[in-house]
Amino acid sequence: MASPPVLKPRRPPLPWYLVVPAVMCGLGVAGPMAYLVVRALSIESDELRRILLDPRNLALLGNTLLLCLGVLVVTLILALPAAWLTARTDLPMRRVFALGMVLPLAVPGYLMAFSLLSLGGYVGAVAKVTGLVMDEPIRIAPIRGFWGALIALSLYNFPYMLLNLRAAFLSLDPTLEEVGRSLGRTPARVFVSLVLPQLRPALVAGGLLVGLHVVADFGVVHLMGYHTFSFALYERYSAVDVPGMAWFGLMMIALAGAMIALELWLLRGLRLHRVGSGVARGRAVSRLGWWKAPAVLFLLSILCAGVVMPTATTVFWLFEPTFASAGQLRDKLTDAVGDSVTAAALASTVAVLLALPVALLASRYPSKRALSLERLAYMGYATPALAFALGLLVVSISVDRLLVRSGETWFYQSLAVLVYGYALHFMAEAVGPIRAALFHATPRLEEASRALGHGFVRTSWSVTLPLLRPGLLVSLALVFLSVMKELPLTMLLRPTGFTNLAYELWDRTNERLYADAAPFALGILVVSFVFVGALLVGESALERKKQ
């Protein structure tokens, strides 16, 4: 007997103009992953058995998960109060703090680890500040291993959590809490039972970025001597063992895939927007009263650890004699600032533009297929940068092989491939904030504008872009900061002769040329601070004009 036909609600078909760009981005991300698969398949079976059955993998997996969990907990402990304080209270200089809390993102991981390690010890910052450089070493052992990695990673990753939580706090409808309180619940219970569930999407989105970052990190865990999966990848790579490297790359991607699946599971069936008529009221402000001083102190100490400490370390370096002459360093610094800013500005713009269709698709046509395209962007982010760069290297040189008969390189080692490499790798950072902004932007407004007879340009300029602006700016800032400190993509894909601040810093610290490295470290920090500052100041100026 035939079963009765089941009526399924028909979903609207996905529009091609969103699917085509999104699929193209997806292919850009999938290309490097396909490279890993191809190289992984070329491995000899004995070697494969050794890699897969190595009991060390379990230890590495355990280490990686433990560190992920630790960093998630610490970033949450730092970000949750900081987000609430800067979003929902009468904290003095709220905007300044909100800006300051983003700045640790500008600090390259290896610089953070390095300054943490050099706090104690013979030439450590503590010794320098107190003037206690003596023949007897000062017995403040540097923090290493798990705890060192935990602190360093948390200090510069917590802004991902904070940005998401703060946006969520700002958009929370205070009516809900008032209802809770009017029903006689204590503020603590209101927070736990009503506010926290509302924060779930933000927590999950921030947590995912932080988690993926920890999995992919090499700079910090290497300096701290804590072995995670990325360590095994780098070890294969240092032996120029491509198939072995590809297998560890794929294992890391699988781990990231599991985290993304966990995210989707945590967000299943979530519906948080208002139903019914009426609009959400503006933000509610809690009065801090006597708590102002401890609150300010809390935020200041985060800033001290995350921004002042690494900056101070590099300033100390300036007092040593340099290897190169001041003139040589100045010329190099000028080149590196120029190249860094060019690449970061281009890449962040391209990343945001590429992220738009992906975010639009995921927010306006939420279906399995649309979401899986969006998740692909996260996979690109989760692919270890070194493997991603090698994948793009092979893709771009293959294009050259096909198109350029003369044997010259056109695409390979061109700025274009570097810019697309950055943009595709960091697209995930751009998708999130744009999606969040789209949440508030209903398509009706654009339709209204068109109905009023406004043309395409005017509607885009005066309706769509302003609605998306907060999200676009955060996306731009996040990708810009990431590009400023990126290393493996830069080193493998850059045009010969192109340099940037991150590379020059890394190169000099490696050779223990700290005084020579200092200007480049400060360069990264200053350029990033100025860029983020300009974005946020511009944003608040526009905000005021609107009012």
Partner 1 sequence: MHYLMKFTLVTFAVAVVLGSLTLLPSRAQEAAEPAVATITLYCGRSAALVEPLVKRFTEETGIRVELRAADTAQLALALTEEGNRSPADVFWSQDSGTLGQLASRGFLDKLPATTLDRVPEAYRSDEGSWVATSGRLRVLAYSPQRVKEADLPKSVFDLTDAKYKGRVGWAPTNASFQAFITAMVAMHGEEKTRQWLLDMKANQAKPFPKNTALVAGIANGEIDLSLPNHYYLLRFKSADARYPVEQTQFEKGDIGNMNNLSGVGLLKTSKNKDAALKLIDFLLSSEAQQYFVEQTFEMPVTRDRIATPAAMPDLHEALDKLPAVNLNKVEDLEGTQKLLREAGLI
Q: Does 539 bind partner 1 (CB under 8 A)?
A: no
Cα gap 67→55, rounded to integer Å: 19
Question: Is the distance from CB of 490 to CB of 506 less than 8 angstroms?
Answer: no
Minimal distance in Å, beta carbon 238 to partner 1? 5
Q: Does 132 bind partner 1 (CB under 8 A)?
A: no
Q: Which of residues 275-314 bind partner 1 (CB under 8 A)?
A: none
Stretch that binds partner 1, among 257-265, 270-278, 289-297, 354-362 (CB under 8 A): 354-362
Question: Phi and psi dihedrals of 532, rounded to 5?
Answer: -65, -40
Amino acid at 21: P
Stretch that binds partner 1, among 4-12, 296-304, 418-426, 475-483 (CB under 8 A): 418-426
Question: Is the distance from CB of 476 to CB of 349 less than 8 angstroms?
Answer: yes
Residue 184 class from Cβ within 10 Å (0-12 exposed, 13-18 middle, 19+ buried)? exposed
Q: Does 17 bind partner 1 (CB under 8 A)?
A: yes
Cα gap 306→338, rounded to integer Å: 26
Minimal distance in Å, beta carbon 52 to partner 1? 14
Stretch that binds partner 1, among 96-104, 257-265, 501-509, 534-542 (CB under 8 A): 501-509
Q: Which of 442, 445, 467 is nearest to 454 (CA)?
A: 445
Q: Does 330 bind partner 1 (CB under 8 A)?
A: no
Based on CB atoms, which residue is closest to partner 1, 69 or 123?
Answer: 123
CB under 8 Å to 183, separation ≥6 — which residues?
none
Question: How many C-beta atoms lie closer than 10 Å to residue 453's C-beta?
Answer: 7
Minimal distance in Å, beta carbon 88 to partner 1? 34
Minimal distance in Å, beta carbon 49 to partner 1? 14
Number of H helices, E strands in the chain: 26, 0
Cα gap 102→199, rounded to integer Å: 19
Based on CB atoms, which residue is closest to partner 1, 259 or 395?
Answer: 395
Based on CB atoms, which residue is closest to partner 1, 295 or 430?
Answer: 430
Q: Does 415 bind partner 1 (CB under 8 A)?
A: yes
CB under 8 Å to 474, separation ≥6 — which residues?
163, 167, 433
SS3 content of the chain, % helix, strand, coil (to 5): 75, 0, 25
Minimal distance in Å, beta carbon 97 to partner 1? 33
Based on CB atoms, which residue is closest to partner 1, 194 or 416?
Answer: 416
Q: Which of residues 138-167 bind partner 1 (CB under 8 A)?
A: 138-139, 141-142
Question: How many C-beta atoms lie closer than 10 Å to residue 444's C-beta?
Answer: 9
Q: Does 485 bind partner 1 (CB under 8 A)?
A: no
**In the set 200, 298, 439, 446, which binds partner 1 (CB under 8 A)?**
446
User: Is the torsion defined by CA of 87, 262, 256, 417 positive or negative?
Assistant: negative
Question: Is the distance from CB of 218 to CB of 231 less than 8 angstroms?
Answer: yes
**In the set 45, 130, 496, 547, which binds partner 1 (CB under 8 A)?**
496
Residue 402 class from Cβ within 10 Å (0-12 exposed, 13-18 middle, 19+ buried)? exposed
Based on CB atoms, which residue is closest to partner 1, 292 or 454?
Answer: 454
| 485 HSE (CA, 13 A, CB side) | 25
Q: Token pair of 81, please?
A: 């109060």
Based on CB atoms, which residue is closest to partner 1, 286 or 460?
Answer: 460
**In the set 72, 151, 214, 354, which binds partner 1 (CB under 8 A)?**
354
Q: Which of 315, 340, 341, 333 is nearest to 490 (CA)?
A: 340
Q: Does 171 bind partner 1 (CB under 8 A)?
A: no
Stretch that binds partner 1, among 182-190, 263-271, 445-453, 478-486 (CB under 8 A): 445-453
Q: Which of residues 355-414 bind partner 1 (CB under 8 A)?
A: 356-357, 360, 386, 390, 393-394, 397, 400-401, 407-414
User: Under rule CB under 8 A, how many of the chain's residues touch partner 1?
Assistant: 90
Stretch that binds partner 1, among 60-68, 120-128, 158-166, 172-180 (CB under 8 A): 120-128
Based on CB atoms, which residue is closest to partner 1, 441 or 525?
Answer: 441
Question: Phi and psi dihedrals of 286, rounded to 5?
Answer: -90, 140
**In the set 492, 521, 527, 536, which binds partner 1 (CB under 8 A)?**
492
**In the set 495, 526, 533, 539, which binds partner 1 (CB under 8 A)?**
495
Minimal distance in Å, beta carbon 389 to partner 1? 9
Q: Does 264 bind partner 1 (CB under 8 A)?
A: no
DSSP state string for 107-171 = S-HHHHHHHHHTSSSTT-HHHHHHT---SSPP--PPP-HHHHHHHHHHHHHHHHHHHHHHHHHHH
Minimal distance in Å, beta carbon 193 to partner 1? 39
Q: Does 333 bind partner 1 (CB under 8 A)?
A: no
Cα gap 212→204, rounded to integer Å: 12
Q: Does 338 bind partner 1 (CB under 8 A)?
A: no
**x/- track of binding to partner 1 for residues 223-242 (CB under 8 A):** xxx-x---x---x-xxxxxx
